[in-house]
Amino acid sequence: MTKPTKRILSGVQPTGNLHLGNYLGALRNWVRLQQEYECFYCLVDLHAITVQQDPAALRASTRDGAAALLAMGVDPKKSAVFVQSNVPAHAELGWIFNCIARLGWLDRMTQFKEKAGKHKERSTVGLYVYPTLMAADILVYLATHVPVGDDQRQHLELTRDIAQSFNSQYGVEYFPLPEALILGEATRVMSLRDGTKKMSKSDESDYTRINLTDTPDLIAQKIRKARTDPEPLPGSPAGLESRAEAKNLVGIFAALSDRTPAEVLRDYDGAQFSKFKEDLAELTTAKIGPITTEMRRLLADPGYVDSVLRDGAERARAAADPIVRDVKEIVGFLRA
Ligand code: TYM
C-alpha cells in the first residue's frame, strides 16, 4: 500500500446544535480543504456517548449534523462523510491505542479535566480515554492533516505521541505524525457573555453562542446582548489587549468577512459598539442564513442524507480496514 501524503480526517460531535465556533474554527475549513486533500469527515457518535445521551436525540442530531456539513458545502462526491460507529475499525484501533497511551499522558489532558469537573470518579472511563479514540480516528486512515479549532491542539499532540510510541515499540515506521491545521482569524471563538470562556454547545445559556439554526432575529438579539465594554472600538488590534469580549467580536467579524482584524478595525476606528454589532448581526445572518435554509431543504429528504452517510461509511471502511489488518499483523495477532 502506498501511504497517503495529503489525507485529512476530522470529526465533530453530533450532540445538539452546531455553533459559530464550530463553523469558524473548523467546519468552514473542512469545505475549503476539499480542493487540495483527500478528506474523511466523521460524526463522532462514539465520542458523544462518553457523556450520557438520549438515544432518539442522538440519532436525530447525527443526521442534522450530516445535513449541516452538506449545507456548508462539504461535497459527498469528493469527501467521505460518515458516522464513526459505522466504521468498526475506529473502535478496534482505539483499543490497541489504549494499550499504547500511558495514564500519565491522559492525566494531562485539559479537556478531560474541564469536562469531568470536580467529580472525576463519577466520569465514565470512555471520557477518560476519549483522546485515544480520537487518535484512532485519525491514524486509522493514516491521515496526515487534521483541521480543528484551537481547543483540539493538545489532543493532536497526544495523537502524535501515540503514533510515535507505537512505531518505536514495534520497530516500524507505520504511522505518520499528523499535523493540526488550525486556520483562520477565529480559531478560538469565545462565549458572547464571557470573553474568557470558549463558545460551547454545553453552556447552559443559549445566549452565549450563535447556533447555525438561529433565525436572523435571534442572531441580532444575541449579538445586541453580547457583553462588551464602554470604550469605543480602537483603530488597531493593539487596542484590543485586555478587552477579551471586544477582541472576540472583532475576530468573528474578521473571519466572517475574510479579512484581518486590522482591516476590520480600520473601518470601525472610534465607532460605538451599537453600530458595529448591527453590522456584525447583518454579516452573520448573510453568511449563516443560506446554510440554515439548505440544511432544512436537505432534512426534508432524510433518505438522501442517509444515503450519503451509507456511501461515506463504505468508502471509509474500504480505506480503514486494510490499515487495521496491517496493525494487527504488526502487533502479533493470530489471524484465524
Ligand atoms: P467538537 O465537536 O467539540 O467540535 C468540532 C470542531 O469545532 C471546533 N470548535 C471550535 N473552534 C473554535 N472556537 C470554538 N469555540 C470551538 N468549539 C469547537 C473544535 O476544535 C473541532 O475542530 N474531539 C473533537 C471531535 C473529534 C475529532 C476527531 C476531531 C473526534 N475525533 C478526530 C478531529 C479529529 C470535538 O470534540 O470536537
Asked if 106 and 20 sit in the same domain, the reply is: yes
pLDDT, one tens digit per residue, over 215-264 is: 999 999 999 999 999 999 999 999 999 999 999 999 999 999 999 999 99
Nearest-angstrom CA–CA distance, 22 and 34? 17
Check residue 132 and give its pLDDT: 98
**Cβ-proximal residues to 151 (8 Å cutoff; 6+ apart), any chain:** 25, 111, 188, 198
* Residue 63 placed within a domain: yes
Asked if 93 and 230 sit in the same domain, the reply is: no
Nearest-angstrom CA–CA distance, 103 and 98? 9
Other C-beta atoms closer than 10 Å to the C-beta of 169 total 12
Check residue 118 and give its pLDDT: 87
Domain with 279, as residue range(s), is 206-296
What average pLDDT does range 149-156 have in this prediction?
Answer: 98
Q: Is 115 a catalytic residue?
A: yes
Ligand 1 near 61 CB (within 6 A): no
Out of 197, 201, 275, 277, pick the active-site residue.
201
Check residue 16 and give its pLDDT: 83
Whether the per-residue pLDDT at 336 is higher than 90: the answer is no
Check residue 283 and give its pLDDT: 98
What average pLDDT does range 320-335 have in this prediction?
Answer: 98
Other C-beta atoms closer than 10 Å to the C-beta of 280 total 24
The tally of domains found in the chain comes to: 2
Kindly tell me the sign of the dihedral angle through the C-alpha atoms of 115, 118, 122, 126: positive
Q: Is 113 a catalytic residue?
A: no
**Residue identifier of the C-alpha nearest atom 7 of ligand 1:** 22
Q: Are 175 and 142 in contact (CB under 8 A)?
A: yes
Ligand 1 near 151 CB (within 6 A): yes
Q: Give me the chain's average pLDDT, please.
A: 96
Q: Is 198 a catalytic residue?
A: yes
Nearest-angstrom CA–CA distance, 102 and 223? 44
* Residue 114 placed within a domain: yes
Q: Which three cell numbers stand for residue 293?
A: 435554509
**Residue identifier of the C-alpha nearest atom 24 of ligand 1:** 12
Asked if 84 and 233 sit in the same domain, the reply is: no
Check residue 119 and give its pLDDT: 86
pLDDT, one tens digit per residue, over 67-101 is: 999 999 999 999 999 999 999 999 999 999 999 99
